[in-house]
Amino acid sequence: MGLSNEHEMHRRRRSRNIGVAVTLVAFVALVLGLTMVKVTRGDFEKRPPQAEVSNGN
């Protein structure tokens, strides 16, 4: 039947859907990864102020 034929439009929409899905999953993984790194390094713990180390020339 004609309904089983895939139109070019469907291919394009599938491409968009997959692209958005991959982007969202990557975004979640990124936020999770960043949070884990920051937490394990203790970036969010309160620390006494430290002297800045100059990195200039």
44 Cβ contact partners less than 8 Å away, ≥ 6 residues apart: 38
Query: Is there binding between residue 18 and another protein (CB under 8 A)?
Result: yes
Query: At 42, which amino acid appears?
Result: G
Q: Map residue 44 onto helix, strand or coil.
A: coil
User: 25 and 17 in contact (C-beta within 8 Å)?
Assistant: no
> For another protein, which is the closer residue by CB, 45 or 54?
54
Using CB under 8 A, pick the residue from 5, 6, 9, 45 that binds another protein.
9
- Name the site residues for another protein (rule: CB under 8 A): 2-3, 7-9, 11-13, 15-16, 18-20, 30, 33-34, 37, 41, 54-57
